[in-house]
Structure 1
Amino acid sequence: MQFLSKNAILRNKITLFLCCCLALASCEDPNELGVGLVDDNIAGRFTDTLTVNVSTVYLDSVATSGQSTMLVGQFSAPYSGTLESNSLFQLGLGSAWTVAADATYDSLQLVVPLSGYYYGDTTQAQTLEFYRLTSDIQARRLSPYFFNEEPASVFYTDNALYNISRTDAAPEPFSSFTFTPRPVSQDTLAIPLSDELGQEWLDLKKAGDSRLADATNFLNYFKGLKVASTEGSAVLGYALAGARVRLYYSETVDGTLTARTKDFTVTNSNLQYNQIETDLEGTPLEGVTRSGGEVPAEQTGNVSVTQAGAGLMIKLEFPYLNDLSSQLTPDLINRAVLVVEPLSNTTQYPAPATLSLYSTNRTNVPFRPLLLNPLDANSPALTAAYQETSNRYEFNLTPYIIDQLKTENTRGNALFLAPPVATYIQSVSRLVVGGPQSVKLRLYYTTIK
């Protein structure tokens, strides 16, 4: 057995005294710690009364381009208001195309597969509206200088388009379509579009017009489509790879009238993007604004919300970690678990299957996800799956808390709670928590008498 020196014994007694002075409600439970006691002088303790400040932040923008998924629809939900998502993309002329002089127009359709993703009530009919773009889709180039554009944000991408990007479109739709979605079936929709537009394209081609003969000229002439939803209670995902506008026409071949088609496929998938915004008017979050800093749960009806795509995130702060580090030796911490419970009666809009934690500070820029292994830069992100039976998420925060306790000044350090990066920019799932009572930091530690 290894014996402690007199100085070590004195230090341990001081540590024990300071631990007892903490304003913590503790109980001995060595079994929960997963360690055996060496002798009666070592005790395992637990607390979940450490203060966690919970607030909501509205990010200024989230990159949504180049994700191969079109998100279109709308829904209204308690606490988070009405979310709308539109999708914008360009069409290409495609391969060489010839038509006979006697070709006649039949129809024009948007052919687009459902991706299988949906969020909201899909039993309600949805109406889609189609607008012709009147300006070019232009990606945003970020400054190479961090102090100008802060590209360190994990949701910023150079040469990208964002949920708040704008591309001019005609004020009135040229077509609309109403249907009852079946997203799980992953059907391919064939949506009728304007006969006037289809006839115009065929006439231009028959006339030898350069706008229907050259890819660049076609893009200058027809700059793209905006797809929006005016009715419905869900956002649906559409697979970009299979999306195309198909022109149906007929021409005489060897004396027989023959059906023909011409596909105008999506061109430059990196310029397809989803406009995703949420209207918070009339909700507890009405006072939360973009880049306006965090708004504490105490000012929002004691709720906080993260909403993928739209830019809402839940911010978690641990204001007394510096004080704790002066009273508890970091090496005596056995486990730190962050427990997050969705607000009751809010999961009729499903809670995200998985959540991540992102480091941030007073700037409210989400820098990067916490890693499962902080010492390995190639480690996957630390995530927590939703446990439906217990209605909670649990994160192992042991490395993070120990690191914070060993850091001289943690003032301003905080975490964002939201779905993982890929999910956050490709979906609209949300999480509502009931303020600090829904978020607990459980600390398991050892004391030596």
Structure 2
Amino acid sequence: MINKLWVFSTIILLGLLGSCSDDTNDSDFLAGDLFTDSNIRVVLIDTLTVNISTIKFDSIITSAAERILIGQYTDPVFGKVRSANYSGFLPNSYYIDTEAEYDSIVLFAKYDTYYYNDTTKTNTIKIKRLSDNFDPDENNVFYNNSTVAYDDIDLGIISYIPRPQSSDSLEIKLTDDLGLEFFNQFQNKIVTDNAEFTNEFKGLALLPDTEDDGSVIGFSKSSSDFYMRLYYSTAGEIERTQSYTDIILNTSDSPNPFFNNISATDPINYLQTLTNGEVSLSSDDSDDESFIQSGTGIATKIELPYLKTVNNVGGQGTLLKAVLKIKPVAGSYSDYLMLREYLSVYLVDKNNDITSQLYNTDASVVSAILNTYNQEYNDVYFEIDLTAYIEGILSTDLNSEESLLLIPENYTATVDRFILNGTLNSSTKTKLELTYAVYDEEN
């Protein structure tokens, strides 16, 4: 409902119109003779009802994620946040000279700059051999809750202090049993093609230690950045000649045998009520807060049920601007639990199924943009320009059952989390601000 109207003078309106540019005002409003001869006012409507809730998708696809995610930390709200990686591999060659001798095998993993939480603490990666095949669902994809069985024995283990912003790579020594297995298969021509190799070697699981409480780290998927290197050498007249064969991510099979398993266990009680994708947890029932977490499928839903009441202001009018402002909860973010600069905005239907991403009339995507200009006064908020979206709703007689959905930009390959304010606290509430020009007002 509309609870409050702020009315400005005609002079202020003309100044406002003079300052609006074409790329920030998508309305068809023109200040022609009809307008200038009319009784004009600008109305700022800032108390339209906004309903905020949290949903959780049953699963999200991670087999197309742009990075490898490995790590674990304990979050005071979301619980134990964990990501493990499952990957299949193929060698770049099946030939090893019969005179060569085995040396060693090492897994290389290069940082890709992504991290979340405290990188001053030690992380551990345990490498296991998969004992089962990758088994995608009927859509040939893998999800954040997919898994593949693996052996208990560690093929390799490393404890390290992450340096995610560096160009370094982790070098993880693997067991000689594995290295000799590959070496003998290639040298003796036991395995000579991809089908034979994947039948013998299913892949690797890279797991954080169950006791880790540090960070989740991103590693590059590039074949030049993430691979096993099998070292061997041959005797020469003076010295030995070193050689190697790289065993890289399998990108030949379809679907690619790759996914990140991402979970958050033992969260606060509110989040435990999100038992399936159709459940919506109102911010009114969760301490006036809503939640977002990429990787696990937690998202904030925004409903604007009474937009059409704008037409009750009276007279002819046009929408000049529509902005939604939503504030993160003070104290819910830090240098470790970072706020990102953008959130993506999607449309969902009444069953919480995504129908499309939200676009402006110029085909650019609509984003929630973080405003930190007055951060020293704790005035931090996400701002979403909904002008084109709301103009479209007001221009039709149909009532839309769609809602807005906020999720991180790269939600399948990150574990970013956000806690946002609801609508109950007057100083921090989420609000929709409509700037509306009214003319030829009815007497």
Identify the TM-score tier after normalising by the shorter chain: 0.7 to 0.9
TM superposition shift of 1:84: 1.1
The equivalent residue for 2:413 is 426
1:195-224 CA-to-partner distances (Å, cap 9, x unmatched) read 222233224444x2523x322111111111
TM superposition shift of 1:125: 0.7
The equivalent residue for 1:441 is 432
Measure, in 2, the Cα distance between the counterparts of 1:59 and 1:220.
Answer: 34
Partner amino acid, structure 2, of 1:90: G
Q: Whose helix proportion is higher, 1 or 2?
A: 1
The equivalent residue for 1:194 is 175
Residues 52 and 301, structure 2, Cα contact 8 Å, conserved in 1: yes
Alignment of 1:322-337 (within 5 A): 322-325=308-311, 331-337=317-323
Partner amino acid, structure 1, of 2:419: V
Distance 1:42 1:397, change over 3 A: same
The equivalent residue for 1:363 is 351
TM superposition shift of 1:388: 2.1
Report the secondary structure of 1:25's partner residue: coil
The equivalent residue for 1:403 is 392
Residues 111 and 243, structure 1, Cα contact 8 Å, conserved in 2: yes
Partner amino acid, structure 1, of 2:433: R
The equivalent residue for 2:340 is 352
Measure, in 2, the Cα distance between the counterparts of 1:43 and 1:139.
Answer: 60
The equivalent residue for 2:267 is 281
Report the secondary structure of 2:134's partner residue: coil
Measure, in 2, the Cα distance between the counterparts of 1:25 and 1:351.
Answer: 32
The equivalent residue for 1:250 is 233
Query: Given the alignment of the two structures, is residue 179 of structure 1 paired with residue 160 of structure 2, yes or no?
Result: yes
Partner amino acid, structure 1, of 2:127: F
Q: Whose strand proportion is higher, 1 or 2?
A: 2
Distance 1:190 1:83, change over 3 A: same
TM superposition shift of 1:40: 8.5
Residues 93 and 214, structure 1, Cα contact 8 Å, conserved in 2: no
TM superposition shift of 1:38: 4.2
Among candidates 263, 288, 291, match of residue 305 of structure 1: 291
TM superposition shift of 1:352: 2.0
Among candidates 303, 307, 322, match of residue 317 of structure 1: 303
1:159-178 CA-to-partner distances (Å, cap 9, x unmatched) read 32221222222244332110
Among candidates 248, 251, 258, match of residue 265 of structure 1: 248
Residues 278 and 352, structure 2, Cα contact 8 Å, conserved in 1: no
TM superposition shift of 1:329: 7.0
Alignment of 1:27-426 (within 5 A): 27-29=6-8, 31=12, 34-35=16-17, 38=36, 41-101=39-99, 103-142=100-139, 159-206=140-187, 208=188, 210-211=190-191, 213-230=192-209, 231-241=212-222, 242-254=225-237, 256-268=239-251, 270-325=256-311, 331-348=317-334, 349-373=337-361, 379-390=363-374, 391-410=380-399, 412-420=401-409, 423-426=410-413
Report the secondary structure of 1:219's partner residue: helix
Report the secondary structure of 1:167's partner residue: coil
Measure, in 2, the Cα distance between the counterparts of 1:82 and 1:320.
Answer: 39
Report the secondary structure of 1:184's partner residue: coil
Listed as ranges, the gaps of 5+ residues in structure 1 are 1-21, 143-158
1:234-283 CA-to-partner distances (Å, cap 9, x unmatched) read 11111111211012233323463333322111121743221112224335
Measure, in 1, the Cα distance between the counterparts of 2:269 and 2:234.
Answer: 58
More divergent stretch after superposition (329-338 vs 426-435): 329-338
Report the secondary structure of 1:63's partner residue: coil
TM superposition shift of 1:313: 0.7
1:59-113 CA-to-partner distances (Å, cap 9, x unmatched) read 1222222334111112222322222111111110222312334x44332210121
Report the secondary structure of 1:426's partner residue: coil
Residues 89 and 226, structure 1, Cα contact 8 Å, conserved in 2: yes
Q: How many residues align?
A: 403
- CA RMSD between the two structures: 2.4
Partner amino acid, structure 2, of 1:112: A
Residues 342 and 438, structure 1, Cα contact 8 Å, conserved in 2: no
Distance 1:136 1:239, change over 3 A: same
Measure, in 2, the Cα distance between the counterparts of 1:409 and 1:61.
Answer: 32
TM superposition shift of 1:322: 4.1
Partner amino acid, structure 2, of 1:256: E
Residues 92 and 218, structure 1, Cα contact 8 Å, conserved in 2: yes
Identity %: 28
TM superposition shift of 1:130: 0.9
